[in-house]
């Protein structure tokens, strides 16, 4: 069985500040990890993914995440927040290399203050 | 490509009525997924298809829910009879292993269902 925990259902940062969204996973086998973003009234969009290889993964819109096996974490960061980053962010895991059974975390709503 | 298309975008119906949600995956994609999103339960996978064949429907909440994929370009999720607790946003997603990007699921805009 696999699970995802996102610490903090709401995170608020000032424009230009560091964004850090936390994700911890549980998996019995090496996981594949994902971050998705959901803007209001839209579907989910893939930000980045980790499969194998380099543990620091870069995605779209300046986001990146680091896979830390020892900490079972896959935290999402961005050096400088923009107002347009305000959205809900979901971490997801699968250990099925067919990428079928995605398990999502509860989501973190990011608010960016001017 | 137009992306994953879902219809209707919004559906309001009365308890007991039949509801049919529709999805057109991205052309050439061989996997199709149906998800449900609620405040209480978050995002849940309901069922997924591979090459039009249902592979895992263990997430379907009960017999009132059914899904079909009669061809590679169309899928339906039906609720009969509908209940207020079915109110949620239903997402369809697709992916393509033949393109080498099977791990990337592309989501539609969702159907917001309200059952009164």
Is residue A22's pLDDT more than 90? yes
Closest CA to B77 of B88, B68, B87, B89: B68
Q: Do B104 and A99 touch (CB under 8 A)?
A: yes
Which 3 state secondary structure label does DSSP give A85? Answer: helix
Q: Do B91 and A49 touch (CB under 8 A)?
A: no
- Closest Cα of chain A to B20: distance in Å? 19
Is residue A98's pLDDT more than 60? no
- Give the pLDDT band of residue A97 (cuts 50, 70, 90): low
Q: Do A41 and B95 touch (CB under 8 A)?
A: no
* Predicted local distance difference test score (pLDDT) of residue A75: 97
Q: Do B42 and A107 touch (CB under 8 A)?
A: yes
Share of chain A above pLDDT 90, in %: 75
* Predicted local distance difference test score (pLDDT) of residue B96: 87
Contact A45, A62 (CB under 8 A): no
Between A45 and B97, residue with greater pLDDT: A45
Residues 3-62 of B with CB under 8 A from A: 4, 31, 33, 42-43, 45, 48, 50, 55-56
Q: Give the mean pLDDT of chain B.
A: 93
d(CA A92, CA A65): 13
Is residue B87's pLDDT more than 90? yes
Average the pLDDT over A68-94 and give the result. 95
Q: Which residue in B4, B42, B102 is closest to A106 by CB distance?
A: B42
d(CA A8, CA A25): 15
CA–CA–CA angle A93, A44, B65 (5° rounding)? 80
Is residue A1's pLDDT more than 90? no
Residues 59-78 of B with CB under 8 A from A: none
Between A77 and B102, residue with greater pLDDT: A77
d(CA A49, CA A25): 14
Q: Do B93 and A43 touch (CB under 8 A)?
A: yes
At A24-38, the pLDDT tens digits run 999 877 788 999 999
Q: Do B95 and A99 touch (CB under 8 A)?
A: yes
Where do the H-state alpha helices sit in chain A?
none
Q: Do B102 and A49 touch (CB under 8 A)?
A: no
A100 interaction partners in chain B (CB closer than 8 Å): 31, 33, 48, 50, 55-56
Average the pLDDT over B102-107 and give the result. 85
B109 interaction partners in chain A (CB closer than 8 Å): 41-43
Average the pLDDT over B81-97 and give the result. 94
| A·B CB contacts under 8 A | 55
Between A86 and A40, residue with greater pLDDT: A86
At B27-78, the pLDDT tens digits run 999 999 999 999 889 999 999 999 999 999 999 988 999 999 999 999 999 9
- Give the pLDDT band of residue A94 (cuts 50, 70, 90): confident
* Predicted local distance difference test score (pLDDT) of residue B13: 97
Contact A106, A9 (CB under 8 A): yes
d(CA A54, CA A46): 18
Is residue A47's pLDDT more than 80? yes
Contact A90, A5 (CB under 8 A): no
Q: Do B93 and A105 touch (CB under 8 A)?
A: no
């Amino acid at each position: 069985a696999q699970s995802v925990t996102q610490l903090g259902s709401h995170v608020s940062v000032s424009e230009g500040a560091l964004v850090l969204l936390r994700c911890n996973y549980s998996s019995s086998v090496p996981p594949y990890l994902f971050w998705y973003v959901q803007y209001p009234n839209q579907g989910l969009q893939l930000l980045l993914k980790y499969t194998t290889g380099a543990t620091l993964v870069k995605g779209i819109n300046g986001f990146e995440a680091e896979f830390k096996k020892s900490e079972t974490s896959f935290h999402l960061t961005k050096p400088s927040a923009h107002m347009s980053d305000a959205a809900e962010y979901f971490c997801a895991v699968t250990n099925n290399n067919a990428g079928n059974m995605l398990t999502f975390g509860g989501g973190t709503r990011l608010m960016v203050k001017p | 490509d137009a992306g994953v298309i879902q219809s209707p975008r919004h559906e309001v119906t009365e308890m007991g009525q039949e509801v049919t949600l529709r999805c057109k995956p991205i052309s050439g994609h061989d996997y199709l997924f149906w998800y449900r999103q609620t405040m209480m339960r978050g995002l849940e996978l309901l069922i997924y298809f591979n090459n039009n064949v249902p592979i895992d429907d263990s997430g379907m909440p009960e017999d009132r829910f059914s899904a079909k994929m009669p061809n590679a370009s169309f899928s339906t999720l039906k609720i009969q009879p509908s209940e207020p607790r079915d109110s949620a946003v239903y997402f369809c997603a697709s992916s393509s292993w033949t393109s080498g990007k099977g791990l990337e699921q592309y989501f539609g805009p969702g159907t917001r269902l309200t059952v009164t």
